[in-house]
Amino acid sequence: MRIRFPLARPLFRVTPVAVAGAVLLSTTACDSQSGDASSGSGRTLSLAIIGTPNSFDPTQLVDGQQTYVWNSVYDTLLIQDNKGQLVPGAAESWEYTDDARTLTLQLRKGMKFSSGTPVTSAAVKATLDRIRTTPGQSQVGLAAVSSVETSGDLGVVLKLKRPDGSLLSALSSAPGVIGDPKTMTSKSSALNPVGSGPYTLDKGATVNGSVYVLKRRDDYWNKKAYPFPTVKVRVIADRTAALNALKAGEVNAGSVEATHLGALKSSGFEVTNVEATAVGVLMLADRDGSKLKPLGDVRVRKAINMAFDREKIVKQILQGSGKPTVQVYNPKGDAYDPALEKTYAYDPAEAKRLLAEAGYANGFTVPMPSLVYTKPFEPTITQSLKDIGITAQWETVPAQQTNSAFISKKYPMFFTMDGLNTAPVETRSNFSPTGTRNVFGTTDKRFDALLDQANNEVDPAAAAKIYKEINAFTVENAWNAPVFYAGTHWVTKKGIRYLGDGSSTLSTVRQFGVTGQ
């Protein structure tokens, strides 16, 4: 028996982002059928982003707003559409065996790299094998793959060590790109990529680290999904500079802070608010209490969840750009349950009672890493914890040491801002035994059983129900203390529309469509 997936819910990746401007790194994706190319004839999309693409080497691609550039140059095997669903990409169809241990994909006929070389199953195998064996952000997305085989010129067969619910979505993002085997191993691929995507990088007009100019391919199989013949992506990290560039007409689309919206609306820009693109979470990482004993008691973890006035934090610190939450899952995703939002009310008195019941009436002290993006929140976190008897001691950590600080197990608690994603990826990252946010490797028989069920379930609707159970388990057992969802404000000049709504989190030019000329 084989289960065929012409369409399915996506399943992929979570990345850390900074507050305010940096939270914009976690943006939404959109429908692959965003508009007809003829309607945008002659129009240029000039987009401001805050992150510089680090490399075009298929093994070193990173998520965030940098994706706008590399996702235009490379095809991915699958595509995430505007509603967070998977649709055919370079692979026109895919199917799992009923044990979810073998995935077979069938490539489109006639696809070519920008060099003119045909796209074949051998090219896909070469790219996937190189990503699997090369350290980089994409490697984890293919961790469950034991081998990649070809079946004729267009068939690709992935054999899995274990079922992996996040694999399909991985193939719609960086781990699913297709590189030209003739060039992708050369050093030049880092700055001069050869892909089969809808655009080519105009090397003559591109200034690495500053502006990337993309020219649409007339022979691309899905040209109608890309209404802009030219796309200019400008890297503008400073939010005031981005505002000025929008006002001056140097760019016609970008994400801005809430305080800038009024001026841009009056200048004729269209504003689209996406309420949730990232989640701010106080990670209660040491859930077994191996380093900080109190955290091993669920009553203590629940008390910490009751310490935060989430509504006030959203209003005062985020200036209303977001909403309170006690969940880490995308509110437009399969695992989210609005009923869970009532689990932890702001109640310092009850929190103190729980701490006393657990034997910590006098509180305790906890070290936490102070990072660039945590600084705006540190006074509020400190005071909230102090109000229930917990003393936070912040220790400055250089930005380049952020991840190493997390995985060092030095910090039993830490605050992070992570881009929202889909249920399987959010589960894997936050809670699986090897998850990037489960740094102390917490395990639980009930959770492990649910995770196994989800990974083995090949029916997306059935899997969604299991992820809701996983979400309920982690909230009710206070495995973390989520505080808020942070949103993003997109502005576009007349004639251009932003199409995302938060259902999908992959940054792609397909997010932008055209209106009347």
Q: What is the pLDDT of residues 108-123, one digit of tens each?
A: 999 999 999 999 999 9
- For residue 38, pLDDT beyond 50: no
Q: What is the pLDDT of residue 400?
A: 87
The predicted structure's pLDDT at residue 250: 94
Alpha helix segments (H runs only) across 42-145 = 67-73, 121-133
The end-to-end CA distance of the chain, in Å, is: 51
**Distance of CA 427 to CAs 140, 275, 422, 443, 495, Å?**
14, 21, 9, 13, 39
Assess contact for 321 and 486: CB atoms under 8 A. yes
Q: What pLDDT shows up at residue 188?
A: 81
Confidence label for 206 from pLDDT (cuts 50, 70 and 90): very high
The C-alpha angle with vertex 417 and arms to 145 and 381, in degrees rounded to 5, equals 140
Q: Which of 38-47, 148-157, 280-289 has the least mean pLDDT?
A: 38-47
Q: Which residue has the higher pLDDT, 487 or 515?
A: 487
Mean pLDDT of 120-134: 97
Q: State whether residue 269 is helix, strand or coil.
A: coil
The model's pLDDT over 70-87, given as tens digits with 9 standing for 90+, comes to 999 999 999 988 888 889
Q: How far, in Å, are 110, 185, 199, 215 from residue 219 at the CA level?
A: 10, 25, 10, 12
142, 145, 223 from 198: Cα distances, Å: 24, 28, 7
Give the pLDDT confidence score for residue 42 in this predicted structure: 53
Using only C-alpha atoms, what is the Rg of the chain? 23
**Phi and psi torsions of 278, nearest 5°:** -150, 165
Mean pLDDT for 28-55 is: 61
For 440-490, write each residue's pLDDT tens digit.
999 999 999 999 999 999 888 999 999 999 999 999 999 999 999 999 999
CA angle 506, 509, 515 (to 5 degrees): 125
Asked if residue 168 has pLDDT above 90, the reply is: yes
- Of all residues in the chain, the percent with pLDDT exceeding 90 is 76
For residues 408-436, give the mean pLDDT: 92
CA 348 centroid distance within chain: 33
Which pLDDT band holds residue 258 (cuts at 50, 70, 90)?
Answer: confident
* Bridge partner list, 232: 46, 213
- Whole-angstrom Cα distance, residue 121 to residue 104? 11
CB atoms within 10 A of CB 410: 16
What's the pLDDT score for residue 516? 63
Give me the pLDDT at residue 169, please.
87
Place 130 in a pLDDT band, splitting at 50, 70 and 90.
Answer: very high
Copy the structure tokens of residue 105. 């994909």
What is the spatial distance between Cα 306 and Cα 309, in angstroms, rounded to a whole number?
Answer: 8
Give me the chain's average pLDDT, please. Answer: 89
Reported as a pLDDT band with limits 50, 70 and 90, residue 50 is: confident
Closest CA to 297 of 284, 285, 288, 306: 288
Q: What size, in residues, is the chain?
A: 517
The DSSP code sequence of 197-230 is SSEEE-TTT-BTTTEEEEEE-TT-TTGGG---SE
Domains and CATH numbers, the chain: 2-269+493-514 (3.40.190.10), 277-487 (3.10.105.10)
pLDDT of residue 199: 98
pLDDT tens-place string over residues 337-368: 999 999 999 999 999 999 999 999 999 999 99
Under a CB-based contact definition with an 8 Å cutoff, are residues 41 and 495 in contact? no
Q: Mean per-residue pLDDT for 370-384? A: 96
